[in-house]
Structure 1
Amino acid sequence: MRMASIIGLFAVCISYIVYARPFAATWDEVDFALALDRYDLLAMQPHFPGYPYFILGGMLIHSFVDNAAKALAIWNGLLMMSATIPMYLLAKTYVEQKYALVVTALVQSLSYVMLIVSQPMSEGSALAILWWYVWSLERALHSDRLYVQLLPLWLFSVMLGIRLSYIPFGIGILYVWWKRTYRLKQLFLYSLAALAFQFIWIFAVAATEGDGFWQLAFSFTTGHFTQWGGTVSTDEAPFWQRVIVLIFYNIIWTGMAKQSIWLLSCFVVLLLITWKRILIPPLYRFLLVAYFFWALFAQNIEKPRHILPLVVIVSFFLFVGALQSSSRLHLTVMLVLLFSQTVIGMQAVKHQATQLPATYQLAYDFEQKEEPFVLFTWEETRVLEYLRVSFPHERVFSFDAFQREKAAFPHVKVYVTDHVIKGFQAQGINVRPYIRPTRTYESSLLSDPVYGRITVYEWREEEKRE
């Protein structure tokens, strides 16, 4: 098992470097990739809050790797492999030392985690720092040394400087303070230290943007919770449906099983033979509950990547529970799962790195058209701008704006993407008489659940007259 674990960890590490995704195929990925050459929040390079530690790491790798998207993905992979250390140290406290490496390899080889870490998105780096942060919380629970108490405060600031949405994990610091029963004076001093660490990156980003930073912060926060953020306040689906999607589709089917029947079967078998031994300590229960409700109410459930922290923590204690027994059955199931996760994860990472994303396929296909035309898109325009396509394209949200923009392109063919069509339909516009599907571009919906499939329609006004 130890040898298999070492081989598995080595394979995961190699895949992060060799198959780091070289495409900036979504709006956020373009934001991050552009930031490596010019850091400017007002130009959304990247978008608020700036992700300074993630961008800084990407810049360091960009010094050696020309492709900006690939540089960010490699940075994610390097940080995630560094998280092997705190994973192993934590595992040693819950299982025999000879099995600690097995737990580590099983968590590192979670297939969906591998897929997301190899993207030029901040989730991979944030997830890596989360492991260091949790390890530091464990140490702070059992040590009186000052630097041990300050370490989680600093790591929490680094984590938020990579991904602000991990803010619910701050409850771990409050739990440590509560368990250690600090006096008011100590609480006040540690609170000041925590704020000081946060202000390091906040003031650094604010200094680069000037007076517009705080206005940008307000508008971004407002938009996230009231317009485009996919939070519970903007979700038209029933609340019970949102809960089911989050638990069964995002966490179990996608996050743990990577939408693989075989991996799901392995996890079901492991759970059936282990469930009596699964014990999640109070600290982790607080972390899980806090982030679960955050993901439920304040995150976009259309993007399963937001639930990665829940997946890795739950999986960690599932594997720990399984290795409380060294029976042949348990070890066999764990070995099969380790091999399956690693192989399926590496295949997914390779496919993601070598298959053109749907947005790229769209761009390259329309570059070949010789007839005069204009393409109206939703968020795809951000990728088209990044690729510097030569054909005219416009981003529209409302039907009235579309009518005005379209009038500026007389006597040319008009194309619209399916996301534009869905937006018009949400505004009560009957588009069926006007559209004719022309082509669908497909890549991995796991890599990009929103723009992994794009259908382009031709808009024909003459249909209305008929």
Structure 2
Amino acid sequence: MRRNAIWLALFAAAVIAGVTCLSIVYASPFARTWDEVDFTLALHRYDLLAMQPHFPGYPYFILGGWIINQWLNNPIIALSVFNTLAALSSAVPMFLLANRLTDSGMKSLLLPALVLSSPYIWLMSSRPMSECAGMALLWWFLWSIRFAMDRPGSMLRHGLALLMFGFLMGTRLSFFPYGLALVPLWYGIWQYGARGWQRWLRMGCSALAALLFQLLWIAGLVLSEGTLAGFWKLSLAFVEGHFSEWGGGIISTPMPLGERIYQLIGYNLLGSALLGGSILIGLWLVIMVAAAVIGRRFALPSVQGNENHRYIFWLVGCAVLYTLWALFGQNIEKPRHIVPVVAPMLLLIFVFIIRTAEGLKTSTHGTRLLRIAPTILYALLISLISIQVVYGAQLQKRQALEEPAVYQLHDYVSSLQEPLLLFTWEETRVLQYLQADYDHQRIYTYGYFQALAGSNPERRVLLTDHVVHGFEQQGKSVKEHVKQLAEFKSDALFDPAYAHVILYEWVR
């Protein structure tokens, strides 16, 4: 048995090392989206007002990328490498957390192998986006919560959890629903030992520490902006715009609730974030979980402490709360916003598989099939990880080599010699980063477009399909006034919002 555990640990270590190396080798050289351009430009000059990056500033992510960039002098690659290193560091809390929940020793290394090879998470680790760094810190935070629950009276462990939450918020503020995990820690402080004024003192110290760890990164943002009043106005303007105009939430992007739920759960969570668009991975995952469900009927029940049960309860609560936040408050077009839910999903699946396998080893049922059932479950888990590695490596290479649709648009328009004006939506941020030498402008309203388009009759007017759709949403049908010039495509897994760009010419 010990020899099997060693082989499983070696396999997991090889997967983790291979995933890390391929993430660096195939680090994406493209700034594909508005946000990626914001982060990349921030390494040259950190300026919230210029959206370098946009609010809330992501200071720890930018700091990490800036440090790496001192050696690489390539902001896009530097942010991608920082993400890869952050993902590698998360293998430590994953291992510790899995071992605490399953008591499986070195076999717990299979959890970081499973998570880090998950195709979509792996793709995010080689891109200049803050989600991967946020996911890494989420794992550290989730482990610190469980670590503190073992000794509810330890202010050192409690303070570590608050510190990790501060790092998490300063890296990815949108992960705030996971702050719900702090509730059992505060409850533990309230229940543990002290009485009367001592209880209130400990709660006050905890609240003060939590506030200070958040002010640590917020103060840096205020200083970078110059004044508290200026920072406050900027933050209010950004939050208002996010929820009312362009953020992709339920107010700024009206969509039937049923359709929105299907988009979030069916396509974003299951199809993209969990399975990476692979039917084979989905089928294998179903087979593995089904085998564990059947085996669970014959396995001896695992003995778990109340802390583990309580931890899992609050973890599920955090995932549900975050899902609601993603449903109503986040951009429904982008699967990356639901990635934080993949962490507890994979953790719970892993715990269920391992507990079932270990429970079958001590089962009193003596049939030959049940004796080999644990081996079958581990084989299914190893096979799933192997499939993810092969499929994910192919995605990594394609993401690094295939030109995004917006880049293709830029190449095409650059080849046109005559005077022109290109109207876009979010594509304009990428065009600015590419230093396009032709006139291009982000357009909001049809009336303003008409004024600009008619100001110079000798100049060709081009516009993208996203602009046309925006006019249609304003009640302006312009199909009879446009003719299609070109069409550009990239993989929707890499560019969910701009994988398909159609270029039109305005016919006066």
Task: Please tell me whether the aligned partners of residues 190 and 203 of structure 2 are also in contact (alpha carbons under 8 angstroms).
Answer: no
Match of 1:163 in 2: 172
C-alpha distance in structure 2 between counterparts of 1:164 and 1:257, whole Å: 25
Aligned residues: 461
Match of 2:369 in 1: none
Residues 347-362 of structure 1 aligned to structure 2 (within 5 Å): 347-362=394-409
Match of 1:192 in 2: 208
C-alpha distance in structure 2 between counterparts of 1:11 and 1:408, whole Å: 57
**CA shift at 1:179, angstroms?**
3.5
Task: Please tell me whether the aligned partners of residues 414 and 438 of structure 2 are also in contact (alpha carbons under 8 angstroms).
Answer: yes
Aligned amino acid, residue 470 of structure 2: G
**CA shift at 1:94, angstroms?**
2.5
**CA shift at 1:452, angstroms?**
1.6
**CA shift at 1:63, angstroms?**
0.7
Aligned amino acid, residue 36 of structure 2: E
1:305 partnered with 2:336: yes
Task: Please tell me whether the aligned partners of residues 141 and 180 of structure 1 are also in contact (alpha carbons under 8 angstroms).
Answer: no
Task: Please tell me whether the aligned partners of residues 316 and 344 of structure 2 are also in contact (alpha carbons under 8 angstroms).
Answer: no
1:206 partnered with 2:197: no
**SS of 1:449 mapped into structure 2:** coil
Match of 1:46 in 2: 53
C-alpha distance in structure 2 between counterparts of 1:353 and 1:147, whole Å: 43
Residues 292-324 of structure 1: CA deviation (Å, up to 9, x unaligned): 221122111211111111112111210221122
**CA shift at 1:4, angstroms?**
2.3
Residues 309-458 of structure 1 aligned to structure 2 (within 5 Å): 309-324=340-355, 325=357, 327-458=374-505
Indicate which of 106, 110, 116 corresponds to 1:102. 110
Task: Please tell me whether the aligned partners of residues 359 and 454 of structure 1 are also in contact (alpha carbons under 8 angstroms).
Answer: yes
Match of 1:178 in 2: 187
Residues 45-79 of structure 1: CA deviation (Å, up to 9, x unaligned): 00011111110011001111122111111111100
C-alpha distance in structure 1 between counterparts of 2:439 and 2:248, whole Å: 29
| TM-score, normalised via structure 2 length | 0.88
Match of 1:464 in 2: none
**CA shift at 1:180, angstroms?**
3.9
Task: Please tell me whether the aligned partners of residues 255 and 308 of structure 1 are also in contact (alpha carbons under 8 angstroms).
Answer: yes
Task: Please tell me whether the aligned partners of residues 91 and 104 of structure 1 are also in contact (alpha carbons under 8 angstroms).
Answer: no
C-alpha distance in structure 1 between counterparts of 2:321 and 2:293, whole Å: 23
Task: Please tell me whether the aligned partners of residues 303 and 449 of structure 1 are also in contact (alpha carbons under 8 angstroms).
Answer: yes
Residues 399-423 of structure 1: CA deviation (Å, up to 9, x unaligned): 1111111123321221100110010
Residues 101-250 of structure 1 aligned to structure 2 (within 5 Å): 101-143=109-151, 144-182=153-191, 183-211=199-227, 212-250=230-268
Residues 224-261 of structure 1: CA deviation (Å, up to 9, x unaligned): 11111111223322112222222222211111111111
**SS of 2:407 mapped into structure 1:** helix
Which has the larger Rg?
Answer: 2
**SS of 2:483 mapped into structure 1:** strand
Q: Which segment is superposed worse, 10-19 or 95-104?
A: 95-104
C-alpha distance in structure 1 between counterparts of 2:414 and 2:256, whole Å: 42
5+ residue gaps in structure 2? 1-7, 192-198, 297-301, 303-308, 359-373
Match of 1:286 in 2: 317
**CA shift at 1:266, angstroms?**
0.8
C-alpha distance in structure 1 between counterparts of 2:440 and 2:317, whole Å: 48
Residues 3-39 of structure 1: CA deviation (Å, up to 9, x unaligned): 3212211111112211111111211111110000000
Aligned amino acid, residue 375 of structure 2: R
**CA shift at 1:100, angstroms?**
0.5
Coordinate RMSD, CA, aligned: 1.6
Task: Please tell me whether the aligned partners of residues 178 and 318 of structure 2 are also in contact (alpha carbons under 8 angstroms).
Answer: yes
C-alpha distance in structure 1 between counterparts of 2:252 and 2:439, whole Å: 32
Residues 100-131 of structure 1: CA deviation (Å, up to 9, x unaligned): 01122111111111112211011010000000
Match of 2:196 in 1: none
Aligned amino acid, residue 240 of structure 1: G
Aligned amino acid, residue 43 of structure 1: A
Residues 402-452 of structure 1: CA deviation (Å, up to 9, x unaligned): 111112332122110011001001001111111111111111211120112
Task: Please tell me whether the aligned partners of residues 274 and 318 of structure 1 are also in contact (alpha carbons under 8 angstroms).
Answer: no
C-alpha distance in structure 2 between counterparts of 1:365 and 1:106, whole Å: 41
Task: Please tell me whether the aligned partners of residues 169 and 287 of structure 1 are also in contact (alpha carbons under 8 angstroms).
Answer: yes
5+ residue gaps in structure 1? 462-466
**SS of 2:72 mapped into structure 1:** coil
